Structure 1
Amino acid sequence: MTVILTNKPDWVVYPEEIAKRLNISKRSVDKHFKILEDSGYMCKFTYVLGGREGKLVRRFFSDLPFNQEHISYLKKQLEEELFGGEFAGAK
């Protein structure tokens, strides 16, 4: 969590990059991300772009657990920034 929270606020979190920095496996990072998500300290948005575009994943972290209102706000702001509004393919 320290590695994530000490980066720039606009840093896009990639599990592979964290694994490389800490010299651990990506699987280990994914396992810890799941723990953070289940406990409310991380929220993840996945967008299926279709075709060859694949998918886009954005993760947000906090030192305090997210509430549903904050998650909705983040999702709205992210979709506005990425797509200019709501995106039907969000998970």
Structure 2
Amino acid sequence: MSNADEWRVYPEELARRCKDSESAIRSQLKALENAKYIRTYRKSFGGRYGTEAYRFCSDRKISDEAFNTLKAEQDLELEKIANT
């Protein structure tokens, strides 16, 4: 499957693209997350703005160090957006 770099992983969208159910997709994503091929960063934007989940996916395990770097880069991008 090929998508734009900014495409975000949505279980509902994956289920529509294949024959598996949404619950099966969620189980498979959870297994990949447990194995550290997917790491999820939950960012709070304060009370009324809620929380957003950002999923980082790789064909290799994402180490804690790499995950921290990805989170820092995501925060910088969000800061740029907020300041424009």
- Judge same fold: TM > 0.5, yes or no: yes
Q: Tell me, in whole angstroms, the C-alpha distance in 2 between the residues paired with 1:17 and 1:48.
A: 24
Counterpart in the other structure of 1:88: none
Counterpart in the other structure of 2:56: 60
SS in 2 for 1:47: strand
Q: Which whole-Å deviations, capped at 9, do the CAs of 1:52-77 have from their partners, x for residues lacking one?
A: x3321111111111111110100000
- Cα RMSD after superposing both structures: 1.6
Counterpart in the other structure of 1:74: 70
SS in 1 for 2:16: helix
Q: Tell me, in whole angstroms, the C-alpha distance in 2 between the residues paired with 1:77 and 1:46.
A: 14
Q: Tell me, in whole angstroms, the C-alpha distance in 2 between the residues paired with 1:55 and 1:40.
A: 22
Q: Point out where structure 2 has 5 or more consecutive residues left out of the alignment.
A: none
Q: Tell me, in whole angstroms, the C-alpha distance in 2 between the residues paired with 1:44 and 1:81.
A: 16
2:26 is aligned with what amino acid? D
Q: Point out where structure 1 has 5 or more consecutive residues left out of the alignment.
A: 85-91
Deviation of residue 25 (structure 1)?
Answer: 2.4
TM-score, with normalisation over the residues of structure 1? Answer: 0.74
Counterpart in the other structure of 2:15: 19
SS in 2 for 1:7: coil
1:75 is aligned with what amino acid? K
Deviation of residue 10 (structure 1)?
Answer: 2.1
Q: Which whole-Å deviations, capped at 9, do the CAs of 1:24-43 have from their partners, x for residues lacking one?
A: 32221111111101111111
TM-score, with normalisation over the residues of structure 2? Answer: 0.79
